[in-house]
Amino acid sequence: MKTFVRLLGFLRPYRRGVALSFALATAAMVMTVTIPWLTGRAIDRIDAGDEAGLELLGAAVLAAGVLRLTLTVVRRLVAGRVSLGVELDLRASMYERFQELELAFFDRQQTGQLMSRATVDLQSVRFFLGYGLVFMIQSALTILLSAVAMLIVDPRLAVISLAPVPFVILVAARYGRRSRPALQEVQQRIAELTADVEENVSGVRVVKAFAAEARQERRFRREVGRVFEQSMVSTRIQAFYNPFIGFLPQLGLAAVLFVGGRQVIDGTITLGEFSAFYTYLLMLIGPMRTLGISLGMAQRATASGARLFQILDRVPQITARPGAGPLPPGSGRVEFRGATLRYEGASREALRDVTVTVPAGSTVAVVGATGSGKTTLVQLVPRLYDVTGGQVLVDGADVRDLDPAELRAAIAVVTDDPFLFSATVRENIAYARPDAGDEEVEIAARRAQAHDFIRRLPDGYDTRVGERGLTLSGGQRQRLAIARALLADPRILILDDATSSVDASTEQQIKAALREVMAGRTTFVIAHRLSTISLADEILVLEDGEVAAHGSHHELLEDSGLYREIVEKGLPDQVFLTRKPLEPEVAGL
């Protein structure tokens, strides 16, 4: 019930539309109830041979029908606007919350699961709030007005015919209790199916490379089967309760035919009154069935709403503290003071008590085995994750005391798997600075050694790249990502294995361009190649999340057995580069 009440809160901005929709529905129902009464009177005029009265009542029935039609059309338009408005608000709220949530949240979620909540679950809520709720109220109103009309025509006959109504209410309540958990499980399995489809589409190249189409199809069929099985559980519940709810009024209908028919024969009521009464009873059957369907919609919306609120209620973990200030002036000095990080749910720390200062304008190299904490360390700088102990400072300010948006605007990151949007080359480069002019975009592309291949594209800088930039080669995507980072003109530049997909010749060209860009700028370069590492004046070696050694390439070859082992094995893991010596604040040294 709490979830249901919260869902109704989404109607608050549209309360005028909701009120108007209910008012129109009420007026339409009044016309609906009036028509049988007029029809009964008309039958009595026929029986009395009153042609003038019959014509007048016939015109009244026609007018009531036209008015009901008009009211219903307008109500549907108003309800449709409310429904689409609720959908708009829900989508905006979901998207806004997705943008606010920390990176750690997405690390633990399947994209398909999130997409299912933003589409399937949202549609269930939207359809109920826009239409189902009105149908439910309208059905209840029809039952009420018909009952009142029947009581006016013949109280005794009304009591007999309405006797099944309390049983309908009890059966509907039981239906709601049984269907809710079944529908929640259906929604969950649909989300799992959506996640499976999304994963299969995203990984289609791997699937085809290993000729695993048949295996993926079997897996998909299993997921579809699970959805089918759970949907059948829900269907069996509906298959029993919905017809049963529709059957109960038939008992009243049989009683009316038996008792009311005798009253007509005895002359207790007129044929017209009996006809009107019989029509009212028929009118109850449809709303009672609709009420059952609407209750099913309500249960599905409640189940979906609970899944939506799991996202909307989640409090973002990385936000600006009250009174968070702007990034102070500086050139990108970075300090780690006892930096410790344990990922949520992890059994051990990814980083432990890392203390090191990176002077402004320097380029730092960190090496280590897989899982040693190299990437984790650099992700602390733009505050993609928050330390669980210690501090990270940029130009003397704790990153947690800064506005995250302003902090990240001063940092540019190029990863080993760069993401490009399905847009033009120009738009992808200018993503860091949408107001950048064409000349600035071209200069950034030239520095990243991307200009020549861009000119050879069908439409040059206006060529649209496919989803995730997969119409380009890996090296081309990386050069565009580098150009995007350079256009941002950041204080701190992070190159996370940014030259892994280019050939040796292109790598040298990019390095030549980056030397100019890195001058006077704090730069982190993560790379696999020894040629890149050997350029570093200072290298930081990590082992199991802790600083194991630091120094120049030649110093570490002499003093660090771990570094020598990494070099001898061909430097299989990622690294950080530095050209200026680190300040002597390295833990454990």
Question: HEC profile for 13-82?
Answer: HHHHHHHHHHHHHHHHHHHHHHHHHHHHHHHHHHHHCCHHHHHHHHHHHHHHHHHHHHHHHHHHHHHHHH
pLDDT at 551 (0 to 100): 80
Look at 371 and 337; give whichever has higher pLDDT. Answer: 337
Q: Which of 63-67, 139-143, 253-257, 417-421 is most confident?
A: 63-67
For 411-415, what is the mean pLDDT? 85
Q: Rounded to two decimals, what is the model's pTM?
A: 0.69
pLDDT at 587 (0 to 100): 40
Model confidence band, residue 507 (pLDDT cutoffs 50, 70, 90)? low
Residue bearing tokens 């897989």:
370
Closest by CA to 409, choosing from 427, 387, 443, 435, is: 435
Residues 6 or more apart in contact with residue 368 via CB below 8 angstroms:
374, 541, 542, 543, 548, 562, 566, 573, 575
- Given a contact cutoff of 8 angstroms between Cβ atoms, the answer to whether 11 and 86 are in contact is yes
Each residue of 349-397: pLDDT tens digit? 899 999 998 888 888 887 777 778 888 898 999 998 899 999 999 999 9
pLDDT at 392 (0 to 100): 94
- Given a contact cutoff of 8 angstroms between Cβ atoms, the answer to whether 301 and 122 are in contact is no
Closest by CA to 404, choosing from 320, 488, 331, 317, is: 320
Look at 507 and 267; give whichever has higher pLDDT. Answer: 267
Q: Check pLDDT > 90 for residue 409.
A: no
pLDDT at 535 (0 to 100): 59
For 85-103, what is the mean pLDDT? 85
Q: What are the sequence ranges of the domains in the chain?
A: 2-195+229-312
pLDDT at 582 (0 to 100): 59
Number of C-beta neighbours around residue 60 at 10 A: 17
Closest by CA to 540, choosing from 355, 332, 304, 299, is: 355
Residues 6 or more apart in contact with residue 266 via CB below 8 angstroms:
none
Q: Report residue 30 as tokens.
A: 């009044």
The torsion angles phi and psi of 372, rounded to 5 degrees, stand at -80, -15
Q: Check pLDDT > 70 for residue 468.
A: no
Residue bearing tokens 């950048």:
436
The one-character DSSP state at 457 is S
- Given a contact cutoff of 8 angstroms between Cβ atoms, the answer to whether 287 and 139 are in contact is yes
Poorest-pLDDT segment among 263-267, 349-353, 362-366, 513-517 = 513-517
pLDDT at 576 (0 to 100): 47
Each residue of 108-136: pLDDT tens digit? 777 777 877 877 788 888 878 877 787 78
CA 289 to chain centre: 34
What is the Cα Rg of the chain in Å?
35
Q: Position 127: which residue type? A: F
Closest by CA to 468, choosing from 203, 269, 191, 156, is: 203
Beta strand pairing status for 546-551 and 539-543? Answer: antiparallel
Mean pLDDT of the chain: 80
Look at 440 and 551; give whichever has higher pLDDT. Answer: 440
Q: What percent of the chain has pLDDT over 90?
A: 8
Beta strand pairing status for 492-496 and 522-526? Answer: parallel
Q: Where are the beta strands (DSSP E) in 326-382?
A: 334-341, 351-358, 363-367
Model confidence band, residue 579 (pLDDT cutoffs 50, 70, 90)? very low
Model confidence band, residue 43 (pLDDT cutoffs 50, 70, 90)? confident
H or E stretch at 274:
helix 271-312
- In terms of DSSP H, where are the helices of 101-212? 103-107, 111-116, 122-127, 133-153, 155-162, 165-202, 204-209
Poorest-pLDDT segment among 226-240, 432-446, 563-577 = 563-577
Model confidence band, residue 187 (pLDDT cutoffs 50, 70, 90)? confident
For 4-22, what is the mean pLDDT? 86
Each residue of 212-223: pLDDT tens digit? 778 888 888 888
For 136-165, what is the mean pLDDT? 80
**Cα–Cα distance for residue pair 385/370, rounded to 1 Å:** 19
As assigned by CATH, the class of the 2-195+229-312 domain is mainly alpha
**Cα–Cα distance for residue pair 159/142, rounded to 1 Å:** 17
Poorest-pLDDT segment among 3-7, 281-285, 479-483 = 281-285
The torsion angles phi and psi of 367, rounded to 5 degrees, stand at -125, 165
pLDDT at 389 (0 to 100): 92
**Cα–Cα distance for residue pair 18/172, rounded to 1 Å:** 25
pLDDT at 66 (0 to 100): 93
Q: Check pLDDT > 80 for residue 578.
A: no
Q: Check pLDDT > 80 for residue 24.
A: yes
Poorest-pLDDT segment among 87-96, 143-152, 158-167, 492-501 = 492-501
For 172-187, what is the mean pLDDT? 75
Residues 6 or more apart in contact with residue 67 via CB below 8 angstroms:
27, 31
Q: Check pLDDT > 90 for residue 96.
A: no
pLDDT at 572 (0 to 100): 46
Each residue of 272-291: pLDDT tens digit? 878 877 787 777 777 776 77
Residue bearing tokens 């602390």:
380
For 401-409, what is the mean pLDDT? 88
For 560-589, what is the mean pLDDT? 58
Residues 369-382: b if buried by 16+ CB within 10 A, e if exposed: beebbbbbbbbbbb
pLDDT at 398 (0 to 100): 92
H or E stretch at 477:
helix 474-487
pLDDT at 588 (0 to 100): 37
Poorest-pLDDT segment among 290-294, 329-333, 503-507 = 503-507
pLDDT at 574 (0 to 100): 44
**Cα–Cα distance for residue pair 548/586, rounded to 1 Å:** 9
For 38-63, what is the mean pLDDT? 84
The one-character DSSP state at 527 is -
